[in-house]
Structures are given as C-alpha cells and as structure tokens.
Amino acid sequence: MSSDHDLPTNAGTPRALAADTMVDEPPDGRLPSSERSNAPDVEAKPRTLAPRTYAERYAVRRDLGAGGMGVVRLAYDTATGREVAVKEMLAEGATRRLARDRFVREAQVQAQLEHPGVVPVYDLGVTPDGQPYFTMRRVRGTTLAEALSALREGSEDAAERFPRRKLLSVIERVSETIAYAHSRGVVHRDLKPANVMLGDFGEVSVLDWGIAKLRSDSDLSDPTTGEDEPVPEYTVPGTVVGTAGYMAPEQASGQEVDARADVYSLGAMLFEAVALSPLHSGSSNERIRSTFEGVDARPSLRVDDDVPAALDAICVRATKVLPRERYEDASALLSDLRAFLDGARVSELRREVAGQHAEAARRSLAGKPSASETTRVAALRELGAAAVLDPDNPEMARMIEQLLEPEPAEGELPREVAAELEDGRRLLASRAAGRSAIAYAVALSAVPIFAWMGVRMDGVVAAFAGLLALAAIGAAVMWRTQRATGTIALASLPFAFGTVSLLSLLFAPFFVVPSLAISTSVAFMVSVRASWRMRGAINACAGLSVAIPWVLMELDVIPKGYRFTEGMIQLLPNLVELPPLPTTVLVLFTSLFVVYIPNTLVGRAVEELRRAERRRVLVSHRLRSMLPGARRAALST
C-alpha cells in the first residue's frame, strides 16, 4: 500500500485499511445491536448447504476504510457465522484489465502466503455489480505505528504494554513473516509500522500486500498476464511505490528491487522501535533525501538508555545505502536479531533470578540494623549469587559493599577469620619484637662508655647491662618464636623499664629518663597486641620508671641525683664520673637513641598500617572491577 500521500502510487489499495480494520469494534467483539438484529440467526436449525450469491452470503454492515482502488467493509458471513473484512474493488477500477489483474494478484499472493503473520484470505469472487472482491479475517488490535506514537507521547499505559523487549519481539515476528515471504519469492515493498498489526493476544500480522512483487523464481501462481509494470492510468514507468522514510534508496529512485529492499525497511522499523523516533524525519522530500545520503543508524545515539552494541550493528547493516552491503534477505537479518534476543532473554532470566537472590538477602537483613555475622554471611552468599548472575546491578553491588565495610566486634568474628587475624597480628608483632631486640642491643653498647667515663657504682652498672641484655634476649626470643603475646610482653616490662629507672642515677629522674621511658613504651606498643589492659600496664610502668627513683631519692633511700643551687638545678653524677668528652659522647648517643628508635618503630608501624589500607582499598577496587555496578554505585553516592 502506498500510504505516503506525497509520493505517486500504482497500488490503488485502500489507504486506511491497516488502521481502519481494527476500529469501531465493541469491547466484547460482538456486532452493534442495530446490526446484530439484522444478522441471520446462526443458532437456528441447520440449513441445507448450497451455493450462495454474494448478496446471499455476505451481510455488509459498514465501511471500514477506502483507498484509491478499493473499499474495505465489515460484513457478516452467513455461511460460516463469522465477521469478515470484505475488500471490494471500486467500479471505476474494475473496468481496467490490468487493475483487475493486480487486485486479484493481491488476493492470491496474500492467500498463498500461508503463515501466521499473514492475514488469511477466505474467499475471492465478483459482486453482482461485476467488481472483484476478496474476504479475509477481521483484524483487531493496534498498529505498531499507533503504539510507537503513544510511546513518544509518554503514555504510561503504552509504556507498560509495549516495553522495548516487546517491541523487539514484534520486529522479530515481522522478520519471520517477511523471511517466509522471501522464501516464496515475494517482496512486500511497503513495510512500515502502520502495516504491522499487534493483536490483543500476542498476534503480529503484516498487512497490505497490495504492491508486493513476485520474483521470477517465485513458486506462487501469478494471475496477471502482463509485465509487472503499472499502466498509465495509475502511474508511469519509474514511478516510486512505497513509503518515504522506510523504503530503500533503490526503491525510492524507481529501480528494480529485491529482498534487500525489505531488509532496509525492517532495519528502519527496528531502529524506530529502539529509538522511538523515525530513522528519517521531516517532509517526504526530506526523508527521501536523507535516505539517499544515508544517516548514522545507531539507536544508541538517539536515546539515553544503554543500547547494546549488537543491536546498533544490526540496524546499521540493515540500512546501508548500497544493497550489497545489507543482509541478503530477511532470514539473514532474523538470524542476527534472534541471536541477540536469545542472549537478551537469557540475560533477563539471569536478572530475574538475581533479583530473587537479592530479595532473599533483603529479607534476611530486614529489621536487623546490626546483623550478626551469621546473618551477614548468609546475606553475602545470596548477594554473591545475584552478582554472578547480574554483575552490572549497582544496587546489589552497594549492598555487598555495605555488608563488607562495617567492622564487627571481636567476639562476632567467625572462628576461621579470628584465627587468620590472630596469625597476621602475631607475625607483625614478632617483626616488631625483632626490631626491639636490635634497639636493646644498641642501648647495651652504651655500657663501654660508662667504663670510659669512670664507674662509681659497679653493681648498678652491672645490673643495667644485665637488664638490657635480658630485654634484648627476650625480644629476640619473641621474634624467633613468633610468640610476641601479651603474657610474654607483660613479663618483660619490669626488665625494660627497670633499665630506664637505673639511668636516674646518671641523669636524675627528670632528664633523659622520661624520653627513654617514652621510647620503651612505643617499642612495646608496636611490638605486641596492645589491648587496653596492656596499654594501661605499659603506661603505668613508664610512669613508675620516672616516679619510683624520684620517691626513693626524696626518702634518701638512694643518693639524690639533683639539687637546686642559686636558681639552677645541678645533676649529681652518682653512677659514673662526668668527664667532658665521654659525657658528651654519652649524651649524644642517648639523644640519638631517643630520637631514632621511636621514629623507626613508629614509622614501621605506620608503614604496616599503610600496607593494610592499601590492601583494603585494593580489595575494594577489585570488588568494583568484578561488579561493574559497584563503580556506578560509588559514583552515585
């Protein structure tokens, strides 16, 4: 059917047939009461079957549509008791032989294409007035053109009835029908949304075969006796038949066409079904010019939604300007489209199952602001299954991250996780103990400096050296055995801080000693798993290493290590002599020790923390890489 009024036509087919065959139908599918009263009583006793004339068999009710060469009427078939559509040739066309032949060809071609997507023809004959007619199934439903128009207007009902997957299925069904026609040597030549009817129960029918062309290799019978060229009464040689915006460039230029012309039309319809806008727009001349020049036929450029690249590729190939670059026929296009849809259907099923897993996770967490670890693990398992099926879903990725991020209380850790965490802490503590052993060994090297300075209390210096040696040995044992536990560390605290206290006899309790106590505290803090009890013990020992010597000095239990004279405080060297050079070396050594050792220990601890942070961020990154939706979820928040 030539439905574009800006183009000349030789079809002579009723323009409003596709749409009008579905209108004015009561909701229950019954005839209006005014017409039903005149209808024969089909429930009466059986009649004797006998040949009937046109007037006897068909009770014409009203016109459904009219075109340049024919009219379509709703009629009641008294022989079968059903409603039919009667297409009757107009009187002025019935007198022209070729016009009559083409009318009959339309009926016979449509009748011989026995496919669910082609409206069946029931009868072919001549009216009492001599006009050819044929009857066919009454088509009810909505045209694809109407559905697309409603979607463009934002109809919520249309959006619910015709989602993209439904529209793609419609194009698949149309392609199946046209592939069948091509296999029978028939080219439709006027494929467009207005010629596709969507039934109320999933039927998809391709309408209006009025300008269909039979190839020379067609196995269908052709009642026409002349060439497949129209006569001057309806068009002239080279006249364009088809619809601007949907017909192929070679068809728009009046050239001979084959199955690839229908392929172009199918590609244009597929594009429109995805983009919800025509491939070519504007006036007829503008659409024709756009058809000749070619346009970028990727629907993804017209819509904000994600359009799969495979769908873009099908549209592009089907609408190439040069026929040789298109699919060779509808069957080839259908193969690619079906492969895409099969994958899409599998993906949809996967998303549906993934949604069920995600819903199970939500139910397990519902009303539980601080879910137990068992509940959390169960939810993660459901979400893990969902993520495998639908990795692009940002909501599921967000839920997984939320479940992974919160840190549970120590007692809530699963046994295997707690054991793994304990092994990691023990390894880090043993490494820190090894560094502490080196620090104590370095401190032990100060004993020869005491001898150089001149020892006054041999027993105290010996005790100092012994305590340092024991602390170094204890730290080394913890390093080697990887047993830097709280119990062992607690037992070594008196040795370490006792060593610090003895230096009060050299520098007095208020000088150098506090710095050494801090250094020792830092060493213990980073060497063991310092719980709040352990931290309390370390802080207490550090404070006592300064306070106890001061109290003993104030009580004259040990010699006082300082005195105040004329506004100055003097250090009293009770442990060793204080000659200038050895004393300067000892003070420099002690100062460097106090500066370097804490920085080294703390720096290594911070480095371990940084590594842990890097591992956490890396795990999070890999999670987002595994679940692409997590990236969008992170950006949206």
pLDDT for the residue 512: 77
> To 10 degrees, what angle do helices 628-636 and 580-626 make?
110
**What's residue 74's pLDDT?**
92
Q: Quick one: pLDDT at residue 8?
A: 33
Could you read off the pLDDT of 112-168 as tens digits, one per residue? 999 999 999 999 998 888 889 999 998 888 999 999 999 999 999 999 999 998 999
| Architecture of the CATH domain 17-220+237-328 | Orthogonal Bundle (1.10)
DSSP assignment string, 568-622: EEEE--SSB---HHHHHHHHHHHHHHHHHHHHHHHHHHHHHHHHHHHHHHHHHHH
**pLDDT above 90: residue 266:** yes
pLDDT at 6 over 50: no
Query: How far, CA to CA in Å, does 421 sit from each of 278, 361, 381, 412, 426?
Result: 62, 27, 22, 13, 9
What pLDDT score does 171 carry?
96
Residue 402: its pLDDT value, please?
67
pLDDT band at 222 (very low <50, low <70, confident <90, very high): low
Percent of the chain with pLDDT over 70: 71
Sign of the dihedral defined by the CA atoms of residues 53, 56, 57, 59, in that order: positive
406 pLDDT above the threshold of 60: no
Which among 117, 45, 116, 107 is positioned nearest to 70, based on CA atoms?
107
pLDDT of residue 146: 94
| Rounded to 5°, angle at Cα 83 from 65 and 186 | 60
**Per residue in 301-340, pLDDT tens?**
998 878 888 999 999 999 999 999 999 999 999 999 998 8
- Of 322 and 589, more confident: 322
Tell me the mean pLDDT in the region 578-583: 83
Q: How confident is the model at residue 355 (pLDDT cuts 50, 70, 90)?
A: confident
Which tens digits make up the pLDDT trace of 11-54? Answer: 333 333 333 333 334 444 444 444 444 445 545 455 556 667 88
Instruction: Please give the mean pLDDT across all residues of the chain.
Output: 77
The pLDDT tens digits of the residues spanning 532-571 come to: 677 788 888 888 888 888 888 888 888 888 888 888 888 7
Q: Catalytic residue among 20, 77, 190, 390, which?
A: 190
Q: Is 190 a catalytic residue?
A: yes
235 falls in which pLDDT band (50, 70, 90)?
Answer: very low
Q: Output the pLDDT for position 227.
A: 46
- Domain positions in the chain are 17-220+237-328, 351-410, 415-622
Paired tokens of 571? 């250090």
Q: What is the pLDDT of residue 324?
A: 94
Banded model confidence at residue 485, pLDDT cuts 50, 70, 90: low
Instruction: Give the range with max mean pLDDT: 29-33, 347-351, 379-383.
Output: 379-383
Q: What is the pLDDT of residue 525?
A: 74
Q: Is the pLDDT of residue 220 over 80?
A: no
Calculate mean pLDDT across residues 353-367.
Answer: 71
Task: Indicate if the pLDDT at residue 86 is higher than 90.
Answer: yes
366, with CB counted inside 10 A (0-12, 13-18, 19+), is exposed
pTM above 0.85, yes or no: no
What is d(CA 477, CA 488) in angstroms, rounded to the nearest whole number? 10
Average pLDDT over residues 592-600: 75
